[in-house]
Chains A and B, each alone.
Chain A
Amino acid sequence: MGKNNKKWVSILLTALFAVITVIALTPVVSLIVASMRPSSELMRQGLSFFFDPATLDLGNYLAVFSEEGASYWQWYMNSLIVSGGLIVLSLFFSSMVGYALAMYNFKGSRVIFLLVLFVLMVPFEILMLPLYQMMIGLSLVDTYFAVMLPLIVAPVAVFFFRQYCLGLPKELMESARIDGCTEYGIFFKIMAPLMGPSFAAMAILQGLTSWNNFLWPLLVLRSNEMFTLPVGLATLLTPYGNNYELLFSGSVLTIVPIVILFLFFQRFFISGLTVGGVKG
């Protein structure tokens, strides 16, 4: 009896979660369905719950891959460049800082760590106008560099690398020193390879942050050829637009690679996107 009861609880609970999951994934499925519907109708009426599956077609995707989609692929390219560049730069700099904060006892290290925690708390929106002014002053408006700049030394990544390095064996550094390795050699040749999982987690965090970043690119990017995906897609949202084919199929093509990456590297996504949790 008790065993049977337990089984029923399990089945009910699983059914409940199945319903929740269906609700949670409905928007994503809707987007995929929408990308195969006539787009002019979508913008006017919204997506209908009732439709004939036989009317679905890939016309919108043909549009993306035709000449019409040229600016979309330009945005895609820009997003790839900005996100890729940011991953390389921010991992390089943030890991160095986090590593030093964890592995060395030096004057001021505590102050610097407190500053890292402090800037972690400062909302970017407050710094936004002066930074924008700075970009104008330095003639960096409408460049990839301007988009990347605020995230290059990410305090959240510094914090994560520091926490990760605290768990690494310091004895390795000592024995490398005896072997005549320089301090920089110790980091690049011995310790950095041990930090692999933290690099993976931060690559995902920084990559996704940059891939989805909107407000700052909206400010510093001016010309259509320089737009990143979110900024570009947002321009298609206007009621006067006539590129709705691109809007829906383009949105699908924006999230599909991320979802695929997620399915393969779930562990790193989870540790990367729940960084703050390492403290709690």
Chain B
Amino acid sequence: MERSETMANKKTFSLKGILHFLNSRKVAPYVFVSPFIVSFLVLYLYPMIQAIVMSFQQVLPGQTTFIGTHNYQRILNPTFFQALGNTATYVFFTVIILVMIPIVLSVFLNSKSLYFKNFFRASLFIPALTSVIVAGIIFRMMFGESENSFVNELLGLVGMEPVQWRYGAGTGMFLMVLLASWRWIGVNILYFLAGLQNVSEELYEAADIDGASAWQKFLFVTMPALKPVIIFVATITIINGFRMFEESFVFWENSSPGNIGLTIVGYIYREGIQQNDMGFGAAIGVVLMLIIFVVSMLQLKFFGAFKKED
């Protein structure tokens, strides 16, 4: 009886001790960040190591064997290069479109001479609220093959032949780039608008005194001030471009004629999931990561993001 009481006492004492320990200012921050540490270890570090290990294995249900660099050798095939080519083309066009158009539109949206600014800004943002799937459903319908579909009818009005949008490599790429551009322009406009708030009025006033034209002001005052935002937007567009999958899936469900819509991630999905060849899929993933890393670095170097002055 007495014994159990002392034990209970001890327990409460140690519980208090634990609470006191957990509540100290030295320990509390570690408790706060523990969810990130756990998720980093379980959801990032482990899968990343596992992806690299798997890329050297043949993964079959209940049986994995190391096969050296065989998966990597297999990557060097025409289908992969086609996927890489498609993805690179997509990245190229989305970066150009999603940097240039939003810059121009945001400069106008920022000018005093535009009426209904907030309305326009909000309207251009609405496409960003749709999922790629829903947006793709709309685009498939508007760019239907028949001559009675929306866009083909408009082409007919100017005397052009109906286009088989989803069956040509060029038009297929056009659809994917258009879909992405439509969804992202509004978001990128907001980035540039935020950047424009940091351009000091004084610089424009000084340029006015020097007799600069509107174009010169844009080129020599606005653009340099927007440089960090341009770098940022270009970087996320490149990364998102290399990760592209859904824009292609929604048009062709991962089996496009002649692989015109096949992307690198689509190839991972096809080989790793559909063909259940996880080792090969993982190897493609590792190559994709290296490509993204190298391209991002080259792009940052191109923009001079590593120079001290920034």
Contacts and interface: CB of A to CB of B under 8 A. Distances in A.
Interface of A: 6, 9-10, 13-14, 16-17, 20-21, 24-28, 30-31, 34, 42, 44-50, 93-94, 96-97, 99-101, 104, 106, 109, 112, 115-116, 119, 121-134, 149-150, 152-153, 155, 158, 182-184, 187, 208, 211-212, 214-215, 219, 229-230, 233-234, 237-238, 247-248, 251, 254-255, 258-259, 262-263, 266, 269-270, 273-274, 276-277, 279-280
Nearest to A211: B131
A259 B292 CA distance: 33
A184 B19 CA distance: 11
A255 B130 contact: yes
Contact of A44 (B36, B146, B154): B146
Interface string B110-151: 010111100110111111111111110111111111101110
A105 B282 CA distance: 39
Nearest to B226: A280
A129 B108 CA distance: 44
Interface string B286-306: 101100100000000000000
Interface residues of B, number: 99
A277 B232 contact: yes
Contact of B190 (A10, A28, A233, A277): A277
Closest 9 CB pairs of A and B: A46-B144, A46-B149, A100-B32, A212-B131, A183-B28, A130-B47, A104-B29, A130-B50, A153-B39
B149 A280 contact: no
Contacts of B28: 100, 104, 183-184
B82 to A, nearest CB: 18
Given A9-B113, A10-B113, A46-B148, A280 B229 contact: yes
B46 A130 contact: yes
A125 B87 CA distance: 14
Interface string B195-226: 10000000000000000000000000000000
